[in-house]
């Protein structure tokens, strides 16, 4: 950054020196130097804002402005027959010369992403069926369930693993924290497992966005450039991607959607793991991690019992099942009818261990 500051100082000094020598304003030397310093400050401010803009957008703005100038020149040449001395004609020429380059500048800057390499390459590809890309993020790779989904054949298209995701996985695998290190190594093992699957196409993408620092924003930009869908279980990435207009496949939502449907009055067997928060309650978990709260089951901890389902509560965090322990000599219908109806607060689903 030091050479940036030096370049700015030299630029400001050069502008001030040129104004002091040439004296562009019919005033004294101090006023000319002050005017030059003000212009240089505006240029430096514009440069600092421009440095945060993607190169493709800057290039698109320049190309759009050039096209606007060319069209304005063509219109001015085509109006050679008009009276150039008429002020209305002069104003029309000036208006066209200002408006068209401005429109080209704005539109070119807004659609500069079409100058990105993946978009340019796609213009020259042979026409055929469009490839469907699924971009994996770090969290869904470490989670590991994506490998099981791929084995079932429910994921079609090409799985894309960006280099910056691999780099993040490697940093996690090399962490000094043993827990993070194990998670990172698990993610690398999951990738190797997916690559060895038959019928699953895996692509390592070298596309990067140096002007973007956060990995999540890089994933969104890559999904927009391909285009493709992001596969994740990160709630925040899911929301941000949807706001940016990028489709997301959330593994957690998939897991919730394929859970078995349980209706009130059904009989099921559960293993009571611990006592509940309310009096005489027991808590069990299904294989998919769904919490089951059982009335009258506190004395049955560490035993497998039959219960009758009394209600099912669906929340944003997952699903909860409420039931009642079927005591000896009591029918399922009688147990269901005797179960009191309560208003229970939603609780998060705890994964089964």
Q: For residue 293, give the 3-state DSSP assignment.
A: strand
> Which strands, in side-by-side order, build the sheet including 229-232?
201-205, 158-162, 133-136, 229-232, 248-250
The per-residue pLDDT for 317 is 62
User: What pLDDT, on a 0 to 100 scale, did the predictor assign at position 345?
Assistant: 38
Low-confidence ranges of the chain (pLDDT < 70): 1-4, 52, 113, 116, 118-131, 315-318, 328-353
In three-state form (DSSP H/G/I as H, E/B as E, the rest C), the secondary structure along 48-111 is: HHHCCCCHHHHHHHHHHHHHHHHHHHHHHHHCCCCCCCCHHHHHHHHHHHHHHHHHHHHHHHHC
Q: Give the pLDDT score at 353.
A: 37
For each of the domains in the chain, give its residue range(s) and CATH number, in order of start.
2-114 (no CATH), 131-257 (3.40.50.1010), 267-338 (2.40.50)
Predicted pLDDT at 129: 53
Rounded Cα distance, 89 and 85, in Å:
8
Q: What is the mean pLDDT of the chain?
A: 82
Task: Give the burial string for 245-260 (b: 16+ CB within 10 Å, else e).
Answer: ebebbbbbeebbeebe
Residue 182 confidence (pLDDT): 92
- Burial call 324-351: b when 16+ CB within 10 Å, e when fewer: bbbeeeeebeebbeebeeeeeeeeebee
Beta strand segments in 87-200, E: 133-136, 158-162
Size (the chain), residues: 353
Long-range contact pairs involving 218-227 (C-beta distance under 8 Å, separation at least 24): 218/162, 218/164, 219/135, 219/137, 219/162, 219/165, 220/244, 220/246, 222/135, 222/160, 222/162, 223/133, 223/135, 223/247, 224/113, 225/113, 225/116, 225/118, 225/119, 226/118, 226/133, 226/135, 226/160, 227/133
- Is the pTM above the cut of 0.85? no
Q: pLDDT of 84-95, one tens digit each? A: 777 777 888 888
């Amino acid at each position: 950054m030091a050479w940036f500051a030096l370049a700015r100082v030299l630029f400001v000094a050069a502008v001030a020196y040129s104004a002091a020598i040439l004296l562009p304003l019919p005033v004294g030397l101090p006023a000319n130097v002050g005017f030059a310093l003000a212009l240089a400050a505006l240029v430096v401010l514009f440069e600092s804002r421009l440095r945060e803009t993607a190169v493709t957008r800057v290039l698109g703005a320049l190309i759009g402005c050039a096209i606007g100038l060319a069209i304005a020149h063509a219109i001015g040449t085509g109006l050679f027959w008009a009276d150039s001395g008429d002020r209305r004609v002069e104003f029309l020429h000036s208006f066209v010369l200002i408006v068209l380059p401005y429109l080209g500048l704005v539109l070119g800057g807004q659609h500069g992403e079409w100058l990105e390499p993946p978009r340019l390459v796609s213009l020259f590809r042979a026409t055929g069926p469009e490839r469907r890309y699924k971009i994996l993020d770090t969290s869904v790779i470490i989670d590991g369930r994506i490998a099981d989904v791929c084995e079932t054949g429910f994921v079609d298209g090409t799985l894309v693993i960006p280099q910056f995701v691999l780099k993040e996985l490697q940093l996690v695998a090399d962490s000094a924290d043993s827990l993070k290190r194990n998670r990172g190594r698990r993610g690398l093992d999951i990738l190797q497992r997916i690559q060895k699957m038959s019928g699953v196409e895996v692509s390592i993408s070298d596309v990067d966005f140096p002007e973007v620092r956060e990995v999540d924003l890089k994933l969104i930009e890559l999904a927009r450039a391909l285009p493709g869908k992001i596969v994740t279980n990160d709630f925040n990435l899911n929301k941000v991607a949807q706001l940016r207009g990028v489709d997301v496949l959330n593994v957690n939502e998939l897991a919730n959607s394929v859970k078995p449907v349980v209706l009130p009055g059904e009989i099921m067997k559960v293993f009571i793991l611990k006592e509940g928060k309310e009096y005489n309650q027991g808590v069990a978990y299904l294989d998919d991690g769904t919490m089951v709260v059982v009335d009258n089951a506190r004395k049955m901890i560490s035993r497998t019992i039959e219960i009758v389902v009394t209600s099912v509560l669906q929340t944003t965090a997952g699903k909860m099942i409420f039931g009642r322990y079927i005591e000896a000599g009591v029918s399922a219908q009688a147990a269901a009818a005797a179960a009191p109806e309560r208003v229970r607060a939603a609780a998060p689903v705890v994964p089964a261990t």
